[in-house]
Amino acid sequence: MHRWDMRALRRRALGLFACLSVSAALAQTAAPDAKALERGARLIGFCANCHGANGNSTAPEIPNLAGQNPAYLEEQMRRFVDGRRKDPFMSGLIKAMSPAERADAVAYLAAQTMQPSAPPAPAAQIAEGRSYYAKVCFRCHGEQARGDATVPRLAGQQPGYVVKSLKRYRDGTGERLEPVMAANTKMMSDAQIQAVAAYVASLR
C-alpha cells in the first residue's frame, strides 16, 4: 500500500474515533428520562424530611443534594449499601431501595437546582476562604468548586456541613477517612475551616 494511502486511512480512523468520542460524551450528558425524573421525585419524598424539598436542605449541618454530581451521589449510595459509610437512618433507607430506584433518585436530585439557604458570611471571612481554597482545594474540587464524577460539588453547600466534614477529616473521626482529604486538612485551623466553608457556600 502506498504511503499516502496509510496517511489517509489514519486520518479517517482518527475522524471516526473523534465522532465516537463525541457521541459517547453526548450520551453521558443527555437529559435524564422524564419517567425516571417522575419516579425519582416520588422516591425522594422521604428524603425531604432531612434534605429539604428538591434536595435543598434548610438545616445547617445537613447537606444539599440538589445539583450534586450524579456519579458521586451513586457512589455514596453504594457505600451506604455495602457498609463503607454508616448511618443508622440513611443506611436502612438506601438499602431498602433497589438499584433502579437509587438510579431514579440520583437522576432527580442531580437535575434539581441548588438553592442555598444559608445567610451570607462576612466579606472578610469569604475572602480568607477564597484565598485558602485557591491554594489547596481547587486541585480536586475545581476552580468553581463543582467537583467531578468522583469529587463532590461544594458550591452552594451548607456551610455547617462543610465545617463538620472538614473537621472530621482533620481530626480522623467518622468513617470517611480519605487519605488526600486527611493530608490536606491536617494543618487547618478552625478559623480556616470556617472561612473555606463560608467561601464555597457563597458560590453558585
Helix (H) or strand (E) holding 124: helix 123-135
Q: Each residue of 156-171: b (16+ CB within 10 Å) or e?
A: bbbbbbbbbbbbbbbe
Return the C-alpha cell found at 170: 482533620
Is 2 one of the annotated binding-site residues?
no
- Do residues 91 and 100 make contact, with C-beta atoms less than 8 angstroms apart? no
Q: Annotated binding residue at 19?
A: no
Indicate left, alpha or beta for 52 from its phi (over 0: left) and psi (-120 to 50: alpha). left
- 140 annotated binding-site participant: yes
Q: Name residue 63's amino acid.
A: P
- Comparing CA positions, the residue from 62, 158, 161 lying closest to residue 116 is 158
The answer to whether 47 is a known ligand-binding residue is yes
Which positions make up the binding site? 47, 50-51, 90, 137, 140-141, 181
Which positions make up the binding site for heme c? 47, 50-51, 90, 137, 140-141, 181
